[in-house]
Amino acid sequence: MPASYDFIVVGAGSAGCVLANRLSECGKYTVLLVEAGGSDKKLRIRVPIGYGFTYADPSVNWMFHAQPDPGLADRTVYWPRGKVIGGSSSINAMVYCRGLPQDFDDWQAAGAEGWDWASVHPVYERTETKARYSDGKRQLKGDGPLWVTDETHQAHPVSGEFLKAAREAGWPMTVDLNGAKCEGLGIYHNTTRKGWRCSSADAFLRPALKRGNLNLISHATVEALTFEGRRATGIVHRRNGRRQTIKANREVIVCAGAVNSPQLLQLSGLGPHAVLQQAGIETRQDMPEVGGGLQDHLAITYHYDSTVPTLNNQLSPLTGRMAAAMKYLFTRRGMLSLGINQCGGFMRSTPDSPRADMQIYCNPATYSTGDGSSPQLDPEPGFILSFQPCRPTSRGRIDITSSDIDTPPAIKPNSLSTNADCDAVLRGGRLLRQLIETPTMNRLIKRARQADPTTLDDEEMLDDFRQKASTVYHPTSTCRMGRDGKSAVLDARLRVHGIGGLRVVDASAFPTITSGNTNAPTIMLAQRGSDMILEDMRHDG
């Protein structure tokens, strides 16, 4: 192992795989990618439906738990995060949502100059290859490394019923939530390629590993960053019980995700002085917002017994699973090649909402999750309806409580701590009620398994949400971009304010959470971040 590299990238997740690819591409720089987890060459990662098994698998998952959350009736909510090559893109539900265009205008307004929609839209375009099927033939658009597949042709028949109900409710329809018409209900597109998961490792890392100037080490935990004065100079990592210091000639790029990036910065002396002092860490630079600014999406799921067969009927019996497995084996199609979140989209909760503010999920299956165990499909036919407020305004924190990297940081989501967020819950419930009360839903619903928005008044709806809502695994903004080191952590080129040679490039850099699922914007951010780093290197010579 060489003692120095031009760039050291910490974390081979959604963002880190992009950085490793892009920085090694021209051949001019040596790049080390360091990942705490191990190989992603596992069927439960590669086969799309397999994320049910990785959801609570400690061999690929950090399996964090948040602190008891007062906004969620003091519940301790399970927070899975990928600990494997590909990071959370190897264990996620594969829904691909760029976010709404105004999300990025919001970023710019928050001080992330140059991250408006007009600037980031071309980055998405060059990142994606869009695949769709027509008359059984695959059609491709674009030639980016990340495959995004339109699964409309093989969505479960019940998804067609959900769309019919939405039309009856007068809701808009869309065929592509990432296209020009990004509002309305439609079939989600997935990060899959020819029936396999297309993680960030598959799209970006695997092709780059052939290069002699890129080195990947797995099962290696970065414990701290090293510094000379106010400049980051490298990392200390631990592998097989051995510690090693490696020097970065140009930059260290932290891509450890929204939970671990602030942890690593704090362990390295960059964070709120009081937090660091309590954990026995010497403060290098007092940065109150490292770990602050945490945002996340919360969703509530309503379970229904169904009058028509759903995925439960197909995948619960052994014979059904065998049939689906054979179909997948021979065609790479069918239920194993998809996620569970098949139908949904972005809606305005009231006609005068200035933009879509609610994400909807209609899943053709019922299952239980949330307590840190693998989800189990129910044997009886059933489906799930769910809503998720798009842009929460509450902000929480993630802070270390110990100087030991192996002690998980304290995750304090601070959910529903603003009136705006509580109001959004009520609007979401009323919106979903419109769908539930359509003739098609009346026909599909045999029985609601719990009180739902058609039976709850406002007070009960909010209380029910506090009792049952859960993270949908989208933490962001814990090292966010912004104007200065007191109100934010990074500048608009993802450099840590006041510190040289150090950037954070992952979901923690979002100034505000985007309206939808966070994998796509994280990958886009890493692509654009790579452009910036390469530009800065050319400028610096």
Reduced to 3 states (helix: H, G, I; strand: E, B; else coil), residue 461 is helix
Nearer to ligand FAD, 441 or 496 (CB): 496
| Least distance (Å) between residue 446 CB and ligand FAD | 28
The stretch near ligand FAD (CB under 6 A) out of 5-13, 150-158, 344-352, 437-445 is 5-13
Residue with Cβ nearer ligand FAD (266 or 285): 266
Q: Which residue is nearest to ligand FAD (CB)?
A: 13
- Residue 81 within binding range of ligand FAD, rule CB under 6 A: yes
Residue 518 is a binding residue for ligand FAD (CB under 6 A): yes
Amino acid at residue number 316: S
**Would you call 474 a catalytic residue per the annotation?**
yes
* 254 is a site residue for ligand FAD (CB under 6 A): no
Closest CA to 262 of 476, 518, 487: 476
Nearer to ligand FAD, 75 or 474 (CB): 474
Nearer to ligand FAD, 203 or 255 (CB): 255
Which residue of 87, 272, 408, 501 would you call a contact of ligand FAD, by CB under 6 A? 87
Q: Between 338 and 385, name the residue whose CB sits nearer to ligand FAD.
A: 338
* Token pair in block for residue 446: 């045999």
Per CB under 6 A, which region of 67-75, 76-84, 320-328, 480-488 contacts ligand FAD? 76-84
CB 382 to ligand FAD: min, Å: 21
SS3 call for 348: coil
Question: Is 247 in a helix, a strand, or coil?
Answer: strand
Stretch that binds ligand FAD, among 146-154, 382-390, 451-459, 517-525 (CB under 6 A): 517-525
Return the residues of window 30-59 that contact ligand FAD according to CB under 6 A: 34-37, 55
Is 221 one of the binding residues for ligand FAD (CB under 6 A)?
Answer: yes
Piece of the chain touching ligand FAD by CB under 6 A; list 67-75, 84-92, 306-314, 489-497: 84-92
425, 462 Cβ separation under 8 angstroms: yes
Specify which residues 171 forms β-bridges with: none
The interface region with ligand FAD, picked from 93-101, 104-112, 140-148, 284-292 by CB under 6 A, is 93-101
Nearer to ligand FAD, 134 or 407 (CB): 407
Q: Is 2 helix (H, G, I), strand (E, B) or coil?
A: coil
- Let me know if 280 is exposed, middle or buried by CB neighbors in 10 A (0-12, 13-18, 19+): exposed
Q: Which of 297, 303, 474, 497 is catalytic?
A: 474
CA pair distance 522, 494, nearest whole angstrom? 13
| By the rule CB under 6 A, 66 interacts with ligand FAD | no
Q: In what order do the strands lie in the sheet with 128-134?
A: 137-141, 128-134, 146-150, 189-190
Site membership for ligand FAD, residue 474 (CB under 6 A)? yes
Helices H, strands E: what count in the chain?
Answer: 16, 28
| Pair 242, 257: CB distance under 8 Å | no
Q: What angle do CA 227, 398, 72 make, to 5 degrees?
A: 175
Sign of CA dihedral 90, 13, 384, 334: negative
Is residue 290 near ligand FAD by the rule CB under 6 A? no
Work out which of 12, 49, 441, 481 binds ligand FAD, going by CB under 6 A: 12
CA nearest to 64, candidates 257, 238, 251, 224: 257
Of 234, 198, 162, 163, which Cα lies nearest the Cα of 5?
234
Q: Which residue has the tokens 């799930």?
A: 384
Looking at the Cβ atoms of 71 and 87, the one nearer to ligand FAD is: 87
The structure tokens listed for 186 are 């439609």
Residue 507 makes contact with ligand FAD by CB under 6 A: yes
Give the C-alpha separation, 434 to 7, whole Å: 53
Specify the residue, 13 or 381, whose C-beta has the smaller distance to ligand FAD. Answer: 13
The string of DSSP letters for 98-139 reads ---HHHHHHHHHTT-TT-SHHHHHHHHHHHEEEEEEETTEEE
Q: Which range binds ligand FAD by CB under 6 A, 8-16, 274-282, 372-380, 448-456? A: 8-16
Please state the closest distance from residue 94 (CB atom) to ligand FAD, in A.
5
CB atoms inside a 10 Å sphere around CB 437:
14
Minimum distance between the CB of residue 37 and ligand FAD, rounded to whole angstroms? 4
Q: From 352, 295, 347, select the one nearest 510 (Cα to Cα).
A: 295
Distance in Å, CB of 71 to ligand FAD, minimum: 21
C-beta closer to ligand FAD: residue 94 or 216: 94
Instruction: Give me the residues that bind ligand FAD (CB under 6 A), please.
Output: 10-16, 34-37, 55, 80-83, 87-89, 91-95, 97, 221-222, 255-258, 260, 264, 473-474, 506-507, 517-520, 522
Q: Which residues are catalytic?
A: 474
